[in-house]
């Protein structure tokens, strides 16, 4: 396995999860494919905001758009993404709340 490609993939995954809206989209698509209007309503954002985040997730290679007539259905690009999200959700992390609550830069954690 190419280490540089692996780092790039992890960086893209980390970038996707660094935004709460993108995280909500990925978690919703982990459960089942979805349509933009329904996803926007489910996670409580405008269609335009959702569209921007879906474009980012497509660019990261994490979701794909499946054309269905005049609509597109979105789903995770690979089932392993859903399993990785399940694994991350199952982790229990010990974090010093004083560290991360006080920091506003990448110096924390």
What whole-number distance in Å separates Cα of residue 18 and Cα of residue 106? 12
List phi, psi (to 5°) of 74.
Answer: -105, 140
Q: What is the pLDDT of residue 6?
A: 83
- The architecture CATH gives domain 3-102: Orthogonal Bundle (1.10)
Measured CA to CA, the distance from residue 55 to residue 39 in angstroms comes to 14
pLDDT at 107: 47
Domain ranges in the chain are 3-102
Output the tens digit of pLDDT for each of the chain's 109 residues: 687 878 888 898 999 999 999 999 999 999 999 999 999 999 999 999 999 999 999 999 999 999 999 999 999 999 999 999 998 888 766 666 666 655 555 444 3
pLDDT of amino acid 101: 59
Determine the angle formed by the axes of helices 47-59 and 20-31, rounding to 10 degrees: 80
């Amino acid at each position: 396995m190419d280490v540089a490609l692996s780092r790039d993939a992890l960086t893209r995954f980390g970038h996707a999860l660094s935004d709460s809206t993108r995280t909500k989209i990925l978690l919703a698509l982990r459960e089942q494919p979805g349509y933009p209007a329904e996803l926007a309503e489910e996670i409580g954002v405008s269609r335009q905001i959702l569209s921007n985040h879906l474009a980012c997730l497509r660019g990261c290679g994490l979701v794909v758009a499946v054309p269905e007539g005049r609509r597109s259905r979105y789903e995770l690009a690979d089932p392993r993404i859903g399993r990785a999200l399940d694994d991350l959700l199952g982790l229990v992390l010990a974090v010093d709340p004083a560290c991360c609550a006080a920091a506003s830069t990448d110096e924390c954690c």
